[in-house]
Amino acid sequence: LAKTTQPISMDSYEGQEVNITCSHNNIATNDYITWYQQFPSQGPRFIIQGYKTKVTNEVASLFIPADRKSSTLSLPRVSLSDTAVYYCLVGDPPNQGGKLIFGQGTELSVKP
Amino acid sequence: DAGVTQSPTHLIKTRGQQVTLRCSPISGHKSVSWYQQVLGQGPQFIFQYYEKEERGRGNFPDRFSARQFPNYSSELNVNALLLGDSALYLCASSGTGTSPGGEQFFGPGTRLTVL
């Protein structure tokens, strides 16, 4: 499974747009990019998943360039409740089964 | 609908003891995976079970074992506990069809403290 690199921490203020970039230089053809969110003492929660170009849901957007060697999670107008750790994962969901490989994640702190 | 449930919520054990953690998946999910999360790190994959068979195993010693029951619930057992086993143990479920893959839904975890 491809290794991912993301910033250890980021700070933001309420109402701002936050972009978290993840590098995955060794991504394989069948790999998807998935982002999870985790609050303290809770299990991770699926945010968004994509293969290429742009994916948007009610929570976030995921931007993936043509070479797919990186991706950017975009959180519009963050609030204090978005303070959490965000994990970028790369893998082939149908064949990966339950084996998700988490890195260290990005600790996002949203301030008033 | 109930999400993934885990029990107990918290547990304190001493070195050398054995512990059993329990997980009930979302109704209809056939796959259960276990993860260990040490403070300050991302979750680390321990096991995956699908249709009561082991489908994957992470880099953990034989002191760790698991099983899945006919109702798809699962137990994680850890023998001869070490201080380093102190962590949040997470269970995730997925897989409503013939594939064990798909979005993982995590439970709240069991916080294990080994003294």
Q: What is the pLDDT of residues A56-70, one digit of tens each?
A: 999 999 999 999 999
Helix (H, G, I), strand (E, B) or coil at B84: helix
pLDDT for res A95: 59
Measured CA to CA, the distance from residue A40 to residue A78 in angstroms comes to: 18
Residue B4 in contact with partner chain A when CB distance is under 8 A: yes
DSSP A4-33: -B--SEEEEETT--EEEEEE-TT--TT-EE
- B102 to A102: CB separation less than 8 angstroms, yes or no: no
CB A22 within 8 Å of CB A72: yes
Phi, psi of A82 (to 5 degrees): -85, -5
Does residue A39 carry a pLDDT above 90?
A: yes
Q: What is the pLDDT of residues B40-92, one digit of tens each?
A: 899 999 999 988 899 889 999 999 999 999 999 999 999 999 999 999 999 99
Amino acid at site B37: Q
Residue B3 in contact with partner chain A when CB distance is under 8 A: no
Rounded alpha-carbon distances, angstroms, from residue A20 to B40, B50, B67, B86, B109:
19, 33, 37, 30, 26
| Distance from the A97 Cα atom to the nearest Cα atom in chain B, whole angstroms | 4
